[in-house]
Amino acid sequence: MMRRRVKIAGVVQGVGFRPYLYCLATELRLNGEVANGTGGVVLEIEGERQRVEEFLRRLPLEIPPLAQIESVDVESMETSGVAGFRITASDASGHVSTQIPADAATCGECLREMLDPGNRRYRYPFINCTHCGPRFTITRSIPYDRPQTSMARFKMCAACQTEYDDPHDRRFHAQPNACWECGPRLTLLDAEGAASDVKEPVVATLELLAEGKIVAVKGIGGFHLVVDATNSEAVARLRGRKHRFGKPLAVMVRDLDAVRQMCAVSAAEAALLTSTERPIVLLRALGSHGLAAEIAPGVPWLGVFLPYAPVHYLLLGNAELSALVMTSANLSEEPIAIANDEAVERLHGIADAFLMHDREILQRADDSVMCVMEGAPQFLRRSRGHVPLPVRLPMEAPPLLAVGGHLKSVFTLARGHHAYQSQHLGDLESVSSLDFFAEALEHFERIFQVVPECVVHDLHLGYASTVWAMQQPQVKIAVQHHHAHIAGCMAEYALSGPVIGLALDGTGYGADGCVWGGEVLIATLSGYERYAQLKYAAMPGSEAAVRQPWRMAFGHLLAALGEGVFDAEILARLKVSEQDARLLARMIDRGMNSPLTSSCGRMFDAAAALILGRDRVDYEAQAAIELEGVAEMGEAADGAGYGLRLERNEGGVLILNPAPMWEALIEDLRLGVARGVMSTRFHVGVADAYAQAAIAAREQTGIEDVCLGGGVFHNRLLTGLLCRRLREAGMVVHLPVRVSPGDGGLSYGQAAVAAALLAERF
Ligand code: ZN
Ligand code: ZN
Ligand code: FE
């Protein structure tokens, strides 16, 4: 006989872990007990040696679907001789290292029950079990137990309580367990927020959608604005009311078969679509997708996701509607609405009706957005379904907070090997986003009980996140933007460096005060050297040049062609008069409001202005996205790219000079070459130039590892070309998978740099 105490850490609470251990123990006729503790799950197991060993062998292999084990510690104990196996009460004392699960899509078994007229939860919009349902978004505190969630106010009926108490039931300790009898309910409100007395809110909602109405639907992480995705007029009305003009809208589609009618879906993409995290997945649209053209104007992709809450299945369960536009209920880049009265107030004049419920959302979480990049998943936005699960840091970090960047804000709270990234917080331009930042931070500090000793921020003093960081009493560490991008990739792959870092990005504040974003760094986690850069060009008008790509084109062409930029054809292409162009040139000459930039993203803007005539943008990276789109859609090019010239400056830094590229591109414009071909040549030229720079860096340093970081790596065409060339040259390419390569992943990289610096210093 033997007795063992087993401590299991990881995602082991609220995922059916104790009943799992109970069933395994009883199957093997072992005695003991299990409890949730603040350190994870604590188990004591006693019986014949052989059976205990069998138990410990099987334990990690057969865990429930949502569980993730991080560590299992086993120690010997005296046998007690007590018979039976018990699940004992949670222990809320001690140091917290356990985790709250992320929200998970309705599981297959719950779905079957919901569609079964004989089941007591037939068509119940809040059905869930231990393997599915809301978690993070309904939790106020730890340990994850019903009184700490927004289900606390619903008292379970006898039938639900019986399930909840039965270790053999799929709903044993399923904290959001509920039914028609005892749980939350849907209600339909009119545009003014007045309750209607409709018997079947879902049926009434479907009628409204069929009429082309806009309905705000309360989901898991917030409200969505919903319209019929085949109704052009309705989609256009939604865009008009939401003041969102160009940016593609996400579409929820009934099932995978229906997705295949609209888009090309690879096996990797299908796996992402059907994962319990249910992200929006960017897919290549088929020509005949049958949806309103207004959903994704100007691009060949659709952002598609499958239902993940029971109410979504109910809305998409009828024959007429197979696809719904479902977009976060907010004004662009402000936080998503979650409270009922907040939604009515903020969506007044936008929504024609509200499909609400009385289960409070305690944490906002927008939908995650992903794509398949080079065969692996990539985050465009890491949020619902993934928060608050940690990403590993390769070194032990003291408690610290990294505040990230300015746009697509996400903070990271780190301790030990855990980096907890917040949900997507939006752009920190508005007071409401800053409030959301503070609210989310308070929640994270509470649930993980991390009191940061150090605050890490960007070098840019104008970022709202930096301004916030400066006001904090703790020790501060500033990290250069692109170093953070590269360090994030290194940390994900546990590389200590040095590596060759290709930071191709929009904009980030450089160590020399210029705007960086097209750099080759030789980086370790704690430092970097700038090996190569795109040649500086002016950004006339500074921020205005981001919104108006024609300004970037002018800045680049002035640097490349000098007087040649005043060519009538070029100016016509940029839609600028000679007089204005002269004025702009003088402004640049005097350095007035015209910072210098080496940004690759801004060079994409410049190319899009020339190739597409895209003179202004409605959303971030629009010009670059459309430029990639025309290459995807256009005629095949011959494989040759516009060449950049590599030269060295006095400081020994390798300069990628795009002047020959601009000359060749303008020649193609004159010849009337198809825009798809020009776009492909541009992509090929940029990929070739950075591959050459990386190869030159290897020759000089012997480093084989290449880490990629920055928002430009959301571009699949460029990333694919660049990765291929680097691999052909025998280099080892690392692309972020668990963290976004864009600014959404910035705070993770900042945390990695700070942890490395602190480890070196102390
Ligand atoms: Zn379920
Ligand atoms: Zn019930
Ligand atoms: Fe960036």
pLDDT at 715 over 80: yes
pLDDT of 98 reads 58
Q: How far is the CA of 171 from the centre of ligand 1 (A)?
A: 8
SS3 at position 278: coil
pLDDT band at 355 (very low <50, low <70, confident <90, very high): very high
Q: How far is the CA of 178 from the centre of ligand 2 (A)?
A: 5
Nearest to 314 by CA among 202, 178, 185: 202
Q: How far is the CA of 186 from the centre of ligand 1 (A)?
A: 19
Q: How many CA atoms lie within 13 A of 374 on its CB side?
A: 19
pLDDT band at 170 (very low <50, low <70, confident <90, very high): very high
The average pLDDT across 132-143 equals 91
pLDDT at 535 over 70: yes
Distance of alpha carbon 631 from alpha carbon 429, whole angstroms: 33
Q: How far is the CA of 162 from the centre of ligand 2 (A)?
A: 9
Residues bordering ligand 3, an ion, CB closer than 5 Å? 505, 508, 743
pLDDT of 243 reads 87
Q: How far is the CA of 503 from the centre of ligand 3 (A)?
A: 8
Structural domain boundaries in the chain: 2-87, 186-369, 387-490+742-761, 531-687
Ligand with the closest atom to the CA of 711: 3
pLDDT of 92 reads 52
pLDDT at 637 over 70: no
pLDDT at 319 over 80: no
Name 290's Cβ contacts closer than 8 Å, sequence gap at least 6. 230, 261, 262
Judge whether 756 and 528 are in contact, CB under 8 Å. Answer: no
Q: How far is the CA of 506 from the centre of ligand 3 (A)?
A: 6
SS3 at position 740: coil
Tokens describing residue 145:
């137990």
> Is the domain covering 387-490+742-761 a CATH 3.30.420.360 domain?
yes
The average pLDDT across 164-168 equals 89
Judge whether 518 and 656 are in contact, CB under 8 Å. Answer: yes
Tokens 């104008």 identify what position? 462
Distance of alpha carbon 56 from alpha carbon 47, whole angstroms: 12
Most confident of 25-39, 93-107, 254-268: 254-268
Q: What is the CA radius of gyration of the chain?
A: 27
Ligand with the closest atom to the CA of 128: 1
> Is the domain covering 2-87 a CATH 2.60.120.260 domain?
no
Tokens 């907890």 identify what position? 420
pLDDT at 717 over 50: yes
Show the CA angle centred on residue 711, arms to residues 439 and 608, nearest 5°: 125
pLDDT of 94 reads 47
Tokens 């188990």 identify what position? 43
Q: How far is the CA of 742 from the centre of ligand 3 (A)?
A: 5
Q: How far is the CA of 176 from the centre of ligand 2 (A)?
A: 10
Q: How far is the CA of 356 from the centre of ligand 3 (A)?
A: 37
Which CATH code is given to the segment(s) 531-687?
1.10.357.160
The average pLDDT across 397-403 equals 97
pLDDT at 354 over 80: yes
The count of residues in the chain is 762
Q: How far is the CA of 407 from the centre of ligand 3 (A)?
A: 9
In this structure, which amino acid lies at residue 163?
E
Nearest to 379 by CA among 2, 11, 758, 736: 736
- Dihedral sign for Cα 43, 46, 49, 54, please: negative
Distance of alpha carbon 709 from alpha carbon 714, whole angstroms: 10
The average pLDDT across 380-401 equals 96
Encode pLDDT of 69-91 as tens digits.
999 999 999 999 899 999 887 65
Composition of the chain by helix, strand, coil, percent to 5 = 35, 25, 40
pLDDT at 21 over 90: yes
The average pLDDT across 601-611 equals 98
Q: How many other C-beta atoms can be found within 10 angstroms of the C-beta atom of residue 78?
A: 8
Ligand with the closest atom to the CA of 517: 3
Q: How far is the CA of 326 from the centre of ligand 1 (A)?
A: 23
Q: How far is the CA of 456 from the centre of ligand 3 (A)?
A: 16
The average pLDDT across 427-448 equals 91
Tokens describing residue 322:
């197979």
In our burial notation (b when 16+ CB lie closer than 10 A, e otherwise), range 196-206 reads eeeeebbebbb
Ligand with the closest atom to the CA of 183: 2
pLDDT of 97 reads 47
Ligand with the closest atom to the CA of 171: 1
Encode pLDDT of 33-44 as tens digits.
998 877 789 999
Q: How many CA atoms lie within 13 A of 88 on its CB side?
A: 13
pLDDT at 306 over 80: yes
pLDDT band at 95 (very low <50, low <70, confident <90, very high): very low
Q: How far is the CA of 13 from the centre of ligand 3 (A)?
A: 35
Q: Which residue has the higher pLDDT, 532 or 427?
A: 532
Please, is 28 exposed, middle or buried when counting C-beta atoms within 10 Å of its C-beta (0-12, 13-18, 19+)?
middle
Ligand with the closest atom to the CA of 134: 1
Q: How far is the CA of 160 from the centre of ligand 2 (A)?
A: 4
pLDDT above 90 coverage of the chain, percent: 85
Ligand with the closest atom to the CA of 177: 2
Q: How far is the CA of 130 from the centre of ligand 1 (A)?
A: 6
pLDDT of 91 reads 58
Tokens 């007035």 identify what position? 592
Ligand with the closest atom to the CA of 154: 2
* Mean pLDDT, all residues of the chain: 94
Least confident of 263-277, 318-332, 472-486, 553-567: 318-332
The average pLDDT across 623-647 equals 87
pLDDT band at 327 (very low <50, low <70, confident <90, very high): very high
Q: How far is the CA of 277 from the centre of ligand 1 (A)?
A: 14
The average pLDDT across 697-726 equals 97
Name 762's Cβ contacts closer than 8 Å, sequence gap at least 6. none
The average pLDDT across 474-486 equals 98
Tokens describing residue 56:
């410990």
Class (C level, CATH) for 186-369? alpha beta
pLDDT at 281 over 50: yes
What residues pair up with 215 in beta bridges, in sequence order?
A: 226, 353
pLDDT of 332 reads 67
CA distances from 161 to 153, 158, 179 (A): 14, 5, 11
pLDDT band at 636 (very low <50, low <70, confident <90, very high): low
Q: How far is the CA of 165 from the centre of ligand 2 (A)?
A: 13
Tokens describing residue 739:
């963290």
Q: How far is the CA of 360 from the centre of ligand 3 (A)?
A: 34
pLDDT of 274 reads 98
Q: How far is the CA of 424 from the centre of ligand 1 (A)?
A: 26
3-state secondary structure 2-55: EEEEEEEEEECCCCCHHHHHHHHHHHCCCEEEEEEECCEEEEEEEECHHHHHHH
Predicted structure pTM score: 0.95
Ligand with the closest atom to the CA of 65: 1
Cα 3 to chain centroid distance, Å, stands at 44
Q: How far is the CA of 190 from the centre of ligand 2 (A)?
A: 28
